Chain A
Amino acid sequence: MPANDGIDVDDHLGESGLDGDNAQRIYRYMLLARAISEKSWLLTRQGRVLFSMPCDGQEAADVASAYALDTGKDFIVPYARSLGAMLVKGMTAQEVMLNMFGKAADPNSGGRQMPMHWGHKKLGIISMGSSVGTTIPRASGVALASKLKGQGAVTMVYFGEGSASEGDFHEGLAFAGVHRLPVVFFCNNNGWATSVPVSLQSAEPQVSRRAEGYGFPGLTVDGLDPLTVYQAVKTAVDRARSGDGPTLVEATTIRMMPHSSSDNHLRYRSQDELDAEKESDPLPRFQNLLVSAGLLDGESDQVLRDAVDQEVESAIEYADAAPPPDPETALTGVYAP
């Protein structure tokens, strides 16, 4: 059946390697990520949460890429906008909200780091700080250990195109190429690093082309289509797992919201531009595709959305009421025993 953009939906689904069940699951994760992102934004406006970095526009890329991993075994090295990937990797809405509220039970850092600074050892999510780019060689190190230990695990590291300007990007990719490490470098190119457009990051705006310089494949995919992202990342993950080395996957996405709750994007983007971008919101697009494929209808969509909203609301309620970290603990845990 043809979808509204002319491609055959069933072919597209078939080529992606995803069956209807999995496509529906991806859609639910995307809805959940969007709902958490939107609610978190509102909570910052109400002063109940102090900071947020919205992922609106990035859900297809984050969810579908993580979906290509063996979530029980593989590692993710995230960045602040990787919420969708965190959910796929097993973080619950409740855990995310404990993190947003900086509560003691937050599995990411017990309230020590700002919201959306992910890290969850039990789930194989390697902790990130704020200093962008540092994650990239660290991901190569995690993958090196997997290789030496014969773990069979793949590591996927997420970062923005701005962060790919840090020297650590080069150093991490170079090492991974030399040692053919089981790692996937996933660049989320939303065109902006806060207020700085990608044209000011490099005279070559296509980040994936850099992979050639490190001796492994790089490709750019439509990050607004989860099926395309899944297919590309699955190939990269399989390649990594079979010992053929790294891949750099660049997903072109959009940043529908300001950089963070401290940013006002109208200082550097026009409302017209933002309105136009909203037209390519990955959520309605995937929703339409699922409807065309007979995997969703108005009623089942509403049921799904209500369930997601309920999940987020009760997570907020739980996290809001959860105890904050005990001030006494601020001095402890500087060194491992």
Chain B
Amino acid sequence: MNWNVLFDFSPLVDEFDKILGAFWSTIRLSLMTGVLALILGTILAGMRVSPTPVLRAAGTFYVNTLRNTPLTLVLLFCSLALSDTLGLKLSNVSTVNFYWLAVFGLSAYTAAFVCEALRSGINTVPVGQAEAARAIGLTFTQSLRMVVLPQAFRAVIAPLGSITIAMMKNTTVVLVASYLEAAALMKDMFEEYGATLPIFLGFAAGFMILTLPTGFLFGWAAKRWAVAR
């Protein structure tokens, strides 16, 4: 048994460019997913508090379904059902195609959590303010956009941070959708060099370099934009 291999950090150095590239993929995946999940989650939250029963029901159904389905299933559905069976092609370049499938699957999943966080934020806004907004003639959507949501967002910056960190870590699951990001590369390197502690530590550190500042940033923003009542 060659114990040296277990403590050999050289693969990390040798493959540094590849590793950077893989983490760059993770970052691109996270950013796009973050934006889409935020937009979709906001729309869902709006639906769930809307006066229209059909919209409320649709929002509730979506959230309950996606929140209770394992992410792996969602992504497999995207890659197998959407891509292979239905032949949905977003690009002729297969890595681009897989990128978007992964983004869609991950956004669809994360949006359910964003929606629920936002909804709890909406509950922190006194009902009276929404009534006052309607009383000056704002429509439901206007009062949601201009009065309720801005305050709801500020109230849930910290939980949105947790969701973001979870989402960044969840990007590792997209390897089931065949998109090469950090976790997929780690798996490849395990196969090539053997599953060693240094490789694992290198990748784990890579994720912490991404997630820790994210956590601090959200924590700072939560304080910075707290609404005084």
Chains A and B bind each other: no
The chain B residues found within 8 Å of chain A, CB to CB, are none
The chain A residues found within 8 Å of chain B, CB to CB, are none
